[in-house]
Structure 1
Amino acid sequence: MSRPASSRLPAPWLLIAPSLILALFIISYPIFNIVWQSVHEVSRFGAIRDFTGLENFHTIFTDPAFLDALRRTLVWTVCVVGGTILASVPVALVLNQDFYGRGIARTIVMLPWSVSLTMTAVVWRWSFNDDYGMVNVTLQRLGLISGPIHWLATPELAFPVEIAVGILVSIPFTVTILLGGLSSVPGDIYEAARMDGASAWQMFRKLTLPLLRPFVNMAILLNVIYVFNSFPIIWVMTQGGPDNGTHILVTYLYELGFRLGRPGQAAAVSLIMLVMLFIFSMVYLRIQPKSSGDPA
């Protein structure tokens, strides 16, 4: 005779309790440490001093550099994630087709994903060098420009260049997610649609996009978290310059903590970033079931 279900319920919880406690400790301890530092005065070497309450937050929010970095972070995240999705969907659709050399083409697209992001940023910094960079040399040989362009010398050019690099390095990861979604779409529905006289655009709009929507949503969420916290591209290429014109929150945080010696304020910025990502993730995940349930 089997035991009632209520008596068997604690068993799974007891089995996962050790790993759950460990995971909670690993997650909660750094968060507690950040909160603790953000409400204290912290020396350059990390020594906790006097309790300051919200003074670090007040200093941050009254700093024009922080407000500029916050605005630029939103622009950076929206542009990179939006550009990545727009570029990755057609690439994934092409790589999902059956053609000769598809495996090689997929490997070429995915290969940059295996390279360190820091090393990729170093290569792009060299490519946009004023004197011997590949971009200037190529454009001059094609006759498109008469002299070298100082790509990374002004924020008006440097930040769009970094956004473009951010899109390029995010495409392989996003294409991988979308290819996984496309491979799960049954081919029979396309055959039925062709027999009914549907055009390629109609099949894409009425079949592919609705079926691919959960994977697009996943790609958007993961890319927002990844791009929002992306440090190497901007730091390696311009270090937030020139004239603090390319700082985003993560590079501004690094400069506060390690260059200017203000760990307390850096902890406050880190906490602000954590809250922003948490709110976005909760709101985004909450609205997805409603949108996913709408008819195509």
Structure 2
Amino acid sequence: MPALPAPNVHDGSEMTSFSGLKPLAMILPGLFLAMFIIGYPVADLAYTSLQEVSRFGKLQGFAGFANFAEVFSDPLFWSSLYRTAIWTVCVVAGTLLLSLPIAIMLNEDFYGRGLARVIIMLPWAISLTMTAVVWRWTLNGRSGLLNATLMDVGIIAEPIEWLAEAQLAFTVEILVGILVSIPFTTTIFLGGLSSMPQESYEASMVDGATRWDQFIHITLPLMKPFINIAIVLNVIYVFNSLPIIWVMTEGGPANGTDILVTYLYKLAFRFGQLGKAAAISLIMFGVLLAFTILYVMLVSRGDRQPEEVEEG
């Protein structure tokens, strides 16, 4: 009787290996497309930053790191970087501090809640440039609505030039930046609050917990993923935000309200220094990439520590 062929013991492992590669094969086209869409502009930017570029965008030869050296030796770059940090931190922090209580109030069941949500979200549908134009008119030192209102009420005796002095203008722009960022952040928080388990709140009420106890021990811990998302997205959005400062003051007076993106815009389209502008763009990309990676690592480490303590 002829011997039967030995069974192939590798069939199962090969099938498992193939099935494990199948999801990867399905996402590869989209991954390559995303890498091309993101990677090509960054690579082209890096190449341009190493070239001597005419004001019309023509490459005139390899310049090495000369553009970066000029940027780092420019005092306007460092002052713009400092103001960018203040701008980003203040706008993001102010937005988070205001958006969370607004979202909590809008999450409550009350008459007219739908209308209130529409009113809060409506500014999000308006162009940021148009919003900045309206605020520039409102803050006009001679015929602005804000001065007229304050004088009618009797709070001020004479008009205030809100955008004529750098420190006051920058403070006003930060407040406007907070106001225009609230709708987006509130939407993120409303999504998180709508997914909260009501059983936890009901159980805490039975145990005699106050609203503040519920907020500290239930709402904040459960909202942590949504707060992290809001922080990362807002930092990226605010760090690169041009319209508010550019429309209201164009970085003035005397470059006193310039942040990196307005400084970059002036170099590229007003002074024609495209090589330096490309170098600053690459620096901004590196700063945001480093922040995102560092923040994600810190958040991941913070999430792992409680689990490790419980396991110990």
- TM interval, shorter chain, is over 0.9
User: Residues 126-146 of structure 1: CA distance to partner in whole angstroms, max 9, x if unpaired?
Assistant: 110011111111111111100
In structure 1, the residue corresponding to 2:209 is in which secondary structure? coil
Partner of 1:244: 255
In structure 2, the residue corresponding to 1:4 is in which secondary structure? helix
Q: Aligned match of 2:237 in 218, 226, 229?
A: 226
Distance in 2, matches of 1:201 and 1:11, equals: 49
Distance in 1, matches of 2:111 and 2:301, equals: 41
Q: Aligned match of 2:52 in 35, 41, 46?
A: 41
Distance in 2, matches of 1:73 and 1:244, equals: 13
Partner of 2:24: 13
Residues 127 and 294 of structure 1: CA distance in aligned 2, closer, same or farther (over 3 Å): farther
Q: Aligned match of 2:109 in 98, 102, 106?
A: 98
Distance in 2, matches of 1:146 and 1:238, equals: 25
Distance in 1, matches of 2:190 and 2:30, equals: 32
Distance in 2, matches of 1:240 and 1:150, equals: 16
Partner of 2:80: 69
User: Residues 171-206 of structure 1: CA distance to partner in whole angstroms, max 9, x if unpaired?
Assistant: 000000001111111111111111111111111111
How many percent of aligned residue pairs carry the same amino acid? 57
Amino acid at match of 1:91: I
C-alpha deviation, 1:49, in angstroms: 1.0
Partner of 1:60: 71
Q: Aligned match of 1:190 in 201, 222, 231?
A: 201
Structure 1 residue 262 corresponds to structure 2 residue 273 = yes
C-alpha deviation, 1:289, in angstroms: 2.0
Amino acid at match of 1:187: Q
State the TM-score, normalizing by the size of structure 1. Answer: 0.97
C-alpha deviation, 1:21, in angstroms: 2.1
Structure 1 residue 166 corresponds to structure 2 residue 177 = yes
Do 1:40 and 1:50's aligned partners in 2 also have CA atoms closer than 8 Å? yes
State the TM-score, normalizing by the size of structure 2. Answer: 0.92
Distance in 2, matches of 1:165 and 1:132, equals: 19
C-alpha deviation, 1:25, in angstroms: 1.4
Partner of 2:146: 135
Distance in 2, matches of 1:10 and 1:93, equals: 44
Partner of 2:310: none
C-alpha deviation, 1:293, in angstroms: 4.5
Partner of 2:223: 212
C-alpha deviation, 1:9, in angstroms: 3.7
C-alpha deviation, 1:238, in angstroms: 0.4
User: Residues 11-47 of structure 1: CA distance to partner in whole angstroms, max 9, x if unpaired?
Assistant: 3333333332222211111111110111110011111
Matched length: 296
Distance in 2, matches of 1:110 and 1:259, equals: 35
* Range with greater deviation from structure 2 (20-29 or 207-216): 20-29
What root-mean-square deviation, in Å, do the aligned CA atoms of Structure 1 and Structure 2 show? 1.5
Amino acid at match of 1:119: M
Do 1:70 and 1:249's aligned partners in 2 also have CA atoms closer than 8 Å? yes
User: Residues 46-66 of structure 1: CA distance to partner in whole angstroms, max 9, x if unpaired?
Assistant: 111121111101100110111
In structure 2, the residue corresponding to 1:176 is in which secondary structure? helix
* Range with greater deviation from structure 2 (45-54 or 95-104): 45-54
Residues 293 and 50 of structure 1: CA distance in aligned 2, closer, same or farther (over 3 Å): same
Distance in 1, matches of 2:20 and 2:167, equals: 60
Distance in 1, matches of 2:197 and 2:241, equals: 36
User: Residues 236-278 of structure 1: CA distance to partner in whole angstroms, max 9, x if unpaired?
Assistant: 0000000000000001000000000000000000000000000
Q: Aligned match of 2:136 in 95, 113, 125?
A: 125
In structure 1, the residue corresponding to 2:61 is in which secondary structure? strand
